[in-house]
């Protein structure tokens, strides 16, 4: 009898949640459109995939070059310049990440407060989009600058060490 009641209760609960939104757990977020993990990454200047088109085509990022400095046998000058590139990239990325967070928070507040209008939402989404585009371009720019600092051998070694194989820009299967 208890087993029958448990089965009936499970079926009833399942029936009640069939139409539940996969977003229901996001309603408690401080900024609905940004997970806490994404906010933290934006605040820390993390790449969060913004430079994949560079990274996966043979343009190393400063952070990873610093991590692999010994294996890449960076010269003292290369190490100093790589650190400088990383520091500049991070400062720019943190500023732009905070800007993106600010615009997303304003957009969230607009809807939460019942003040959303088309003009306001277009303005805020354009500002958020601009901040995100600048953030992505920033990460890509520093991958470009980093690649110019390394020798072809170092770039090739970087790709192998990162598990990409082949030469910079090599496309597998092409």
Stretch 42-50: mean pLDDT, rounded?
95
Backbone angle region of 106, left / alpha / beta, with phi > 0 → left and psi within -120 to 50 → alpha: alpha
pLDDT for the residue 50: 96
Mean of the per-residue pLDDT values of the chain? 89
Q: What separation in angstroms does the CA of 121 have from each of 27, 101, 124, 127?
A: 20, 15, 5, 10
Stretch 61-75: mean pLDDT, rounded?
97
Residue 86 has pLDDT above 70, yes or no: yes
Which residue carries 């600010």 as its tokens? 102
pLDDT for the residue 25: 78
Q: What separation in angstroms does the CA of 133 have from each of 46, 139, 159?
A: 15, 10, 26
Stretch 100-104: mean pLDDT, rounded?
97
Stretch 76-102: mean pLDDT, rounded?
98
CA-based nearest residue to 156, from 142, 145, 173, 168: 168
Q: What is the DSSP string of 68-114?
A: THHHHT--HHHHHHHHHHHHHHHHHHHHHHHHHHHHHHHHHHHHHTT
Name which of 28-32, 77-81, 167-171 the model is least confident about: 167-171
pLDDT for the residue 23: 79
CA-based nearest residue to 96, from 44, 140, 60: 44
Residue 143 phi, psi dihedral angles, 5° rounding: -65, -40
Task: Convert the pLDDT of each residue in 121-163 to its tens digit.
Answer: 999 999 999 999 999 999 999 999 999 999 999 999 999 999 9
Task: Convert the pLDDT of each residue in 111-124 to its tens digit.
Answer: 999 999 999 999 99
pLDDT for the residue 14: 56
């Amino acid at each position: 009898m208890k087993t029958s009641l448990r089965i009936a209760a499970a079926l009833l609960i399942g029936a009640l949640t069939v139409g539940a939104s996969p977003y229901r757990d996001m309603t408690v977020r401080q900024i609905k459109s940004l997970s806490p993990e994404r906010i933290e990454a934006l605040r820390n200047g993390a790449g969060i995939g913004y430079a994949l088109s560079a990274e996966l085509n043979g343009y190393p990022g400063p952070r990873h070059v610093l991590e692999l400095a010994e294996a890449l046998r960076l010269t003292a000058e290369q190490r100093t310049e790589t650190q400088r590139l990383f520091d500049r990239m991070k400062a720019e990325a943190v500023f732009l990440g905070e800007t993106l967070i600010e615009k997303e928070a304003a957009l969230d507040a607009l809807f939460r407060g019942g003040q959303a209008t088309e003009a306001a939402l277009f303005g805020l989404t354009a500002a958020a989009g601009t901040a995100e585009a600048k953030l992505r371009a920033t990460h890509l720019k520093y991958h470009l600058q980093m690649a110019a600092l390394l020798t072809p051998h170092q770039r090739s070694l970087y790709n192998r060490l990162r598990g990409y194989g082949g030469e910079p820009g090599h496309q597998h299967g092409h």
